[in-house]
Each structure stands twice: as structure tokens, then as C-alpha cells.
Amino acid sequence: MMLLMLAGTVVGLVMGLTGAGGGILAVPALVYSQGWTMQQAMPVALLAVTIGAMIGAVEGFTKNLVRYRAAFLMALAGSFPTWLGIRIAKHLSQTWLMGGFACVLLFVALRLYWQVRTHSSDDDHKKCLAQVNRNTGRFDWNIKSASVIASIGGLAGLSSGLLGVGGGFIIVPMLRHFTNISVHGAVATSLFVISLVGTMGVGMAVANGADLPLWSSVLFSVTTVIGTIVARKIAARLPTKVVQSVFILLLLGVAGSMLVRVIF
């Protein structure tokens, strides 16, 4: 029980600080601490991440950081891919799921490492395809910007259903890469999308027969929420590169341990 509480708190802290990584860490945390399979861990992880993201999103709304139109578009675009991912996951073996999950972790870690090394400032976006108007604080909407944001939502939805994660590890890096949204804006918007997509994902998972053990789900969700609240209080005081560097090390450690389990 203590391992479950510790895991939930760590997941909440990482998600609150980065807007990503909650689900990525929640699934293996439940697999290791409870001895569950990936299929058993996914719905519980997604429930906890969704509730934690809701708390973080509310805080983002109070500071006018959430780009809610973009968030709703991403959530809508991710609805069918979420259902598709859930259906695919039911037909994959434990080995394939765990191996694929580890590969995703490695890719995200390398992508974030590259961003830390090459990103010099919040306004340095050479491949900016969707613009946030500096005067209004909102996206300038056109076919190109809508297509980019919808595509991000579709990928996030697929990851939510297939891997039992909220999709923040896709949303935050891609928003930062393809738009000129600020770091804090990307995190807050990501948390809102995760809460929307995650809610759909939990509902679909339950409808497809997923089991949500009551006490484990409640305890893991509550500690995740506590971790998220604490993290959002200190997020503004920490340098972005420090947070990302810690996150990268966590991803590499989890990915390595999962690959060892798959191979041996």
C-alpha cells in the first residue's frame, strides 16, 4: 500500500511540473508495485492521471494559461483514435505492449534531450506552424493551424487508448515545436486536454470490460492529485531545463528496466 501511495505521489509531481509523463510513469509504477499486467494497470493509471490533470487544468485556467479552443479541438480529434487504441491493445500480447511502451519512452527521452540542448528561448520556434497572437494571447486560426493542432490531438488520443497514458508526452513537446505557445501555456493546455481525453479513455475502457479495483484506484488517484497540487505550486520557481533533465533521466531508467524484463 505504501508503494502505491509513493508511486501516485511521484506521478502527480512529474505531471504537475511538466504537463507530461504522468501516464508514462503511472503504468510501469503499477506494474512493478502491484504485480499487475499492462492491461490491468492501464485503466487505473489513466483514471488517476485524468483526475490529476483536471486539478492542474483548473489552476491553469485561473492564470489564463489554458488555450481552451485548441484543447477542445485536440480532444475531439483524439476521440476516435482513443477508441481505436483500446481495441488494438486488447489484441496485443504483454511482451509487445511492454516492449512498445519502452521504445516510446526512449523516443520521448531522446526528443526531450534534443530540445534541452537546442532550445534557447521561449520564442525560438523556427518551424512554427500555428501562431499564438501576442496581443490577444489566442491562436490565429486557419486551416494550417487547425490541422496541426488536430493532428497533435489524434496522436495523443491514440497513445491514451493504446498505452493507457494521457498523451501529455506528445502534446507538450509538439506544441512547443510547432507553435509559439509558452512553456507554461503548453503545460496548462496539455493538462486540460489530458483531462478531456482521459475521461473519454476511462469511459471507453470500462465499456470494453476493463476492471477498476476500487481501493487501489482511489488511493492511487488521491495521491496523484496531491502530487499534482504540490507540483503546480512550485512549477513556476524551477528552471524548465532542470525539470526536463530530471524527467529525461526518469524516462531512461523506466525504459531500461522494462526492456530488461522483455528481453530476459
Q: Which of 72-81, 95-104, 115-124, 195-204 has the lowest mean pLDDT?
A: 115-124
What pLDDT shows up at residue 191? 87
- In the chain, the amino acid numbered 91 is H
54 pLDDT higher than 80: yes
Q: What is the largest CA-CA distance in the chain?
A: 56
- In the chain, the amino acid numbered 200 is M
- In the chain, the amino acid numbered 29 is A
DSSP category for residue 91: T
What is the spatial distance between Cα 167 and Cα 172, in angstroms, rounded to a whole number? 9
What pLDDT shows up at residue 219? 93
9 pLDDT higher than 80: yes
Q: Which of 87-96, 147-156, 232-241 has the lowest mean pLDDT?
A: 232-241
As a 3-state breakdown, the chain gives helix, strand, coil percent values, each rounded to 5, of 80, 0, 20
In this structure, are residues 139 and 129 in contact, taking their beta carbons and an 8 Å threshold?
no
Q: What is the mean pLDDT of residues 170-176?
A: 81
Average pLDDT, the chain: 82
pLDDT digits 0-9 by tens, 176-209 = 878 888 878 888 898 899 888 778 778 877 887 7
150 pLDDT higher than 90: yes
What pLDDT shows up at residue 105? 77
* Three cell numbers written together for 21: 509523463
Q: What is the mean pLDDT of residues 233-259?
A: 76
64 pLDDT higher than 50: yes
What is the spatial distance between Cα 39 and Cα 3, in angstroms, rounded to a whole number? 20
Q: Which of 155-169, 181-195, 213-227 has the lowest mean pLDDT?
A: 155-169
pLDDT digits 0-9 by tens, 124-138 = 444 578 888 878 878
Query: Which residues face 130 on adjacent strands?
Result: 179
What pLDDT shows up at residue 145? 93
What pLDDT shows up at residue 220? 93
Q: What is the mean pLDDT of residues 71-99?
A: 85
Q: For the chain, what is the radius of gyration of the CA atoms?
A: 17
What pLDDT shows up at residue 253? 80
Q: What is the dihedral of CA 157, 160, 161, 163, to 10 degrees?
A: 140
Sign of the four-CA dihedral 219, 225, 230, 231:
positive
List the beta strands (DSSP E) in the chain. Answer: none
**Burial call 37-69: b when 16+ CB within 10 Å, e when fewer:** ebbbbbbbbbbbbbbbbbbbbebbeeeebbbbe
What pLDDT shows up at residue 35? 85
Taken as a whole, the chain contains a residue count of 264
What is the spatial distance between Cα 87 and Cα 230, in angstroms, rounded to a whole number? 35
Domain edges within the chain: 2-263
What pLDDT shows up at residue 127? 56
Q: Is the pTM of this model over 0.85?
A: no
What pLDDT shows up at residue 177? 77
